[in-house]
Amino acid sequence: MKTQAKTLPDVYTRVTDKIIADLEQGVRPWVKPWKGSNAGGRITLPVRHNGIPYQGINILLLWGEQLEKGYQSNRWMTFKQAQELGGNVRKGEHGSLVVYANKITKTETDGKGDKVEREIPFMKGYTVFNVEQIENLPAEYMPQPEAVPAEPLQLIEQAEAFFAKTGIVVRHGGNRAYYAPALDVVQMPIPESFDTAESYAATKAHEFTHATSHQTRLDRQLGKRFGDEAYAAEELIAEMGSAFVCAQLGITPEVREDHASYLDHWLKVLKADKKAIFTAASQAQRACDYLFSLQTEAEQQAAA
């Protein structure tokens, strides 16, 4: 009699359990890199062997791996890709999990005997290695020391230009940062009330992510999926959205401890639904992409 092989945890469970383990230690994976000494004062999006950035949940997974293992490089590749470039993964090195999502089309026969096509979503995990785990790669694939910008405030000025091009209304005053859906306005304390310009920009990115939920933008409705915890899920999306935006803008934000109160709610959401972190990361990525798409629209209008 054959002994049934032990079932491996599915991809959703493996990824969610990793995120939950971080949260239970009081650490938010989407802000961990900015607390790591290996980041050298800045953080960038993880990229594939060809320089194309990862998106969504893969950003969180590889940021966490980069911090935990102290990698200087943000570039990752598969075992086969390393071989094709003339490199080889060092003996004893362990890879990192990333996921691939897509849909397959299946043709079925309906009750009337007609053939219909149905899309079936699927997700699978695969293993990548940081280039620092690989020997004999061409020099251009290895990490190079980053030059420290002579004018760090210039980066923040670019961020302010980015926010302005979205067309989202910002008002200053009071001592709280929030997005008011009824007015479709982001309310911010005056910049001087923040410790650093980076903290101000990161907070603005958080509130702008909230603003993408408006019905005239992405019309993000979370009630059906998250029920009573929808407000916590929206904060989760805004935190990750801010991290994604800041990474693309080159901003190193400070961690907002005022959102630590959501920690228990996030754990409740993630433990109840193994796909919740994927949904939140996907929505955060969509919000980030949307804000960046408005840059092009603003530039086209200006040119016209």
Q: pLDDT digits over 92-150, tens only?
A: 999 999 999 888 888 777 777 777 787 888 788 999 999 999 999 998 988 765 544 43
> Percent of the chain beyond pLDDT 90?
42
| Whether 259 contacts 207, CB under 8 Å | no
Predicted structure pTM score? 0.71
d(CA 128, CA 48): 9
pLDDT digits (tens, 9 = 90+) for 263-301: 788 888 899 899 999 999 999 999 999 999 999 887 777
User: In this predicted structure, what is the pLDDT of residue 213?
Assistant: 97
The token pair at 70 is 């102290």
User: In this predicted structure, what is the pLDDT of residue 55?
Assistant: 93
The pLDDT-based confidence of 256 (bands split at 50, 70, 90) is low
- Quote the mean pLDDT of the chain: 82
User: In this predicted structure, what is the pLDDT of residue 31?
Assistant: 64
Encode burial over 155-176: b for 16+ CB neighbours within 10 A, e otherwise: bbeebeebbebbebebeeeeee
| Whether 179 contacts 186, CB under 8 Å | yes
pLDDT digits (tens, 9 = 90+) for 213-250: 999 999 999 887 887 788 889 999 999 999 999 999 98
User: In this predicted structure, what is the pLDDT of residue 41?
Assistant: 44
Q: Which of 21-25, 92-96, 197-201, 211-215 has the lowest mean pLDDT?
A: 21-25
Mean pLDDT of 48-76: 88
User: In this predicted structure, what is the pLDDT of residue 146?
Assistant: 52
User: In this predicted structure, what is the pLDDT of residue 145?
Assistant: 55
Residue 108's H or E segment, with its range, is: strand 96-109
User: In this predicted structure, what is the pLDDT of residue 116?
Assistant: 78
